[in-house]
Amino acid sequence: MVFEFRLPDIGEGVAEGEVVKWFVQEGETVREDAPLVSVLTDKANVEIPSPRTGKVLRLHARVGEKVKVGGLLVTIDAAGAGPASSASPPSHPSGPEAAAASAPAPSPGTPARSAPASPAPSAGGVAPLASPYVRRLAAEKGIDLTSVRGSGPGGRVVEADLAVSSPAAGPRAPLAAAAPAPPTSRPTAPVGPAPATLEDVRERVPIVGLRRVIAEHMSEATHRAAHFTYVEEVDVTELVRLRDRMAKHVEKQGTRLTYLPFIIKGVVTGLKAHPRMNATMDDARGELVVRSAYHMGIATATPDGLIVPVIRHAESKSIAQLAREIQDLSERGRAGKLERGELSGSTFTITSLGALGGVLATPILNYPEVAILGVHKIQRRPVYRPDGTLGPADLMNLSVSLDHRVLDGVEGAQFLATVKTYLEDPHQMFAELV
């Protein structure tokens, strides 16, 4: 029985998903409930299991391709024979038509993509060497790669070989027989360095999956918001001592205590004093939406790129609770195990590289938020104290990027001044009256 599996509804508000990874190939046998495909939605990877046991007849979407909910993903030849069945109503087209329907519509001015050509065996039964990009170009131009003489390493067919092998170009002439160029009326002097040849290209890296989501999000943030950054130096000598003492107790519970929980506490205090920074921008209505809850986005590096898991209601959690939640979100985020809801809804974002935090950075806003804090490494340096003596101190820079359309420099400076006060005297965090 031939079974057509379509992209199921994988979350509220999800209209499409991007194929990140296939766990099977055409011709392979897959078991029911075994991993079939990984699909990306709003930075969350969803691993979809196979609905049937059988042979994979066709994969209808390439890695990096977006598929609408209900779009055809894969055709499986299940055990036995019978009429074709589908996970969606049979009115949907199948085969190549369904593959075309599941692909995203090209934007105006963008040529439609063609499926990359499969490696065609040469006369000797060996497929010609060529990258997927070159195979796709060959398919678009109607060129049989077995008839192309590759000029790349090991006879690999490169893009330049297609230009002289296209139907319009005719047979490829030997290089030695090329006619000399006619003389020009005046010599042409080279301007600047010569352009890189195709042999200089080390690789072409497709921007797909999480990397593409990040690219789109960063582009939107930089095009919509008017960024500016304010920097403050903070003496965290007392914070270092306090963290070292508390770590002995917190880590007995299996939780690593970093400086981030203390910084979150200081940030919440600063946001309470300056509520317009705990906000998101509604550009469609031209409104600044000030939030009453404090949901902290924590920028986290993963093998596939940067994600921002969210700690909800950070204002109501202790240092130990924040440490446990940070560790849990970070570990599951790097493993790609976070749910879609855990990666959205933040009101303010903190980005930190820990010991690799550098001296200074200008973070890009996590749009539609209007503020983001950059945390940089702690360094011990000599400083003059108020009594005129010179001594060691643990210093750290904090940089806050703001949307200048709705926030002025004085607000950023006042906010960081409040955060600085609490980090330089962290015992205040435990002295507040409820």
Known catalytic residues are 404, 408
The residues, ordered by sequence, that sit 6+ positions from 238 with a Cβ below 8 Å of its Cβ are 424, 425, 426, 427
Query: What is the 3-class SS of the chain, one letter each residue?
Result: CEEEEECCCCCCCCCEEEEEEECCCCCCEECCCCEEEEEEECCEEEEEECCCCEEEEEECCCCCCEEECCCEEEEEEECCCCCCEECCCCCCCCCHHHHHHHCCCCCCCCCCCCCCCCCCCCCCCCCCCECHHHHHHHHHHCCCHHHCCCCCHHHCECHHHHHCCCCCCCCCCCHHHCCCCCCCCCCCCCCCCCCCCHHHCCCCCCCCHHHHHHHHHHHHHHHHCCEEEEEEEEECHHHHHHHHHHHHHHHHHCCCCCCHHHHHHHHHHHHHHCHHHCEEEECCCCEEEECCCCCEEECEEECCEEECCEECCHHHCCHHHHHHHHHHHHHHHHCCCCCHHHHCCCCEEEEECHHHCCCCCCCCCCCCECEEEEECCCEEEEEECCCCCEEEEEEEEEEEEEECCCCCHHHHHHHHHHHHHHHHCHHHHHCCCC
What is the distance between the alpha carbons of residues 47 and 371, in angstroms, rounded to a whole number? 33
Q: Dihedral, CA atoms, 421, 423, 426, 432, nearest 10 degrees?
A: 50
Please, what is the Cα angle at 239 between 234 and 245, to 5 degrees? 165
Size of the chain in residues:
434
**What values do phi and psi take at 267, rounded to 5?**
-65, -45
CB 102 within 8 A of CB 67: yes
The dihedral through the CA atoms of 116, 120, 122, 125 has a sign that is positive
Residue with tokens 């509604």: 282
